[in-house]
Chains A and B, each alone.
Chain A
Amino acid sequence: MKNMPWRKIEETLREAGSDDVPVRDSDAFWEAFKARAAGETRNEPSPAPVVRFPAWLKAAACFAVIVTGAALLIPTPSNNSIVDAELSEITAIEVAAAHGEITTDESAEGTIVWVHGLELEDAGPNQIKAFDVAADHSAVTIMNDESTNSTILWIHGMELK
């Protein structure tokens, strides 16, 4: 095979043709080959066309993703926030003004501290509005002592028979 006169055979075939082998012209062969390589004349079915999303649809999708993410990150206030919170605790109370009893009520709804009888201003001394000494006596002294915040009603010379 190696020593066969291929060039001569080719020229002979080109000139005379062959009835046994359907040989095409080499130029026509290469032209057809190039055409197939370029895909212009391929008989294969072409792939489905690529679907391209419009720009506005991409923007809308991005916006929807951002909004959804933000909604998941922002904490939602609970209607039961008061119940869930720990109770307020009174650890110390100091009332500078004169007052009575201090009551505290701690519940789930809140803490109430009530100062009874709170006196923001000095109400002044006791007041003797009227008096009547039924027994014998010589005098009556009424004295308001500011230093001791007291009132003294003293009956002098009373005698009990």
Chain B
Amino acid sequence: MSLALVFGASLANAGIMSVRLVHATDAEVGIDPGLSDIAAILSSLRFESFSLLGSDTVQLPAEDARIRMAQGYTLTCNGTQDDLAIEMNHNGRALLKTTATLRRGKPLILGGFPTREGKIILVLKVE
């Protein structure tokens, strides 16, 4: 019985988290087709254009999973879906450290990282 509970708990914390790096600007109008599932969220932000710079996945639970992304950004993940430590780095410099509980299918948007034309947005979503 206890083994089944442990197995069920491990299943509840297992999943694949998609990671997408988005560049938001006012230069062009439109949303990248790869962001169609979160178009409503992005539309609530005060930008005209959202382009997908890169995407990857992380298997949860993660153990020091590191993803190198465009424009010098690096994402490091540790922990389970219920207690996930996320660290955002830019050119080796830590910008943001946060710990979050992610619900399946509910995106977490980490934004506000500046570029010359706009902002960088990180979209995390457990599938």
Residues of A within 8 A of B (CB): 98, 100, 116-117, 119, 123-135, 137, 145, 147-156, 158-160
Contacts of B98 in A (CB 8 A): 128-132, 153
Given known A134-B93, A151-B106, A160-B113, contact A100–B15 (CB-CB < 8 A): yes
Q: Which of A123, A130, A151 has the most CB of B within 10 A?
A: A151
Q: Which 3 A-B pairs have the closest CB atoms?
A: A155-B112, A131-B98, A127-B101
Contact of A126 with B100 in the complex, beta carbons under 8 Å: yes
Contact of B41 with A117 in the complex, beta carbons under 8 Å: no
Contact of B99 with A134 in the complex, beta carbons under 8 Å: no
Contacts of A117 in B (CB 8 A): 11-12, 14-15, 104
Contact of B41 with A152 in the complex, beta carbons under 8 Å: yes
* 19 A-B residue pairs with CB within 8 Å: A126-B103, A129-B83, A130-B99, A131-B99, A132-B98, A133-B96, A134-B94, A137-B112, A147-B40, A148-B107, A151-B106, A151-B107, A152-B45, A153-B109, A153-B110, A154-B111, A155-B113, A156-B112, A160-B113
Interface of B is mostly: strand
Those of B4-22 within 8 Å (CB) of chain A: 11-12, 14-15
Residues of B within 8 A of A (CB): 11-12, 14-15, 38, 40-41, 44-45, 83, 90, 93-114, 127
Contact of A131 among B14, B40, B96, B104 (CB under 8 A): B96
Contacts of A128 in B (CB 8 A): 98-100
- Bound-state Cα–Cα, A69 to B127, Å: 64
Contact of B109 with A152 in the complex, beta carbons under 8 Å: yes
- Bound-state Cα–Cα, A123 to B102, Å: 10
Contact of A150 with B107 in the complex, beta carbons under 8 Å: yes
B48 CB, min distance to chain A CBs, angstroms: 17
Contact of A150 with B114 in the complex, beta carbons under 8 Å: no
B115 CB, min distance to chain A CBs, angstroms: 9
Given known A117-B12, A119-B104, A126-B101, contact A135–B110 (CB-CB < 8 A): no
Contact of B111 with A153 in the complex, beta carbons under 8 Å: yes
The chain B residue sitting closest to A138, CB to CB, is B112
Contacts of B44 in A (CB 8 A): 145, 148
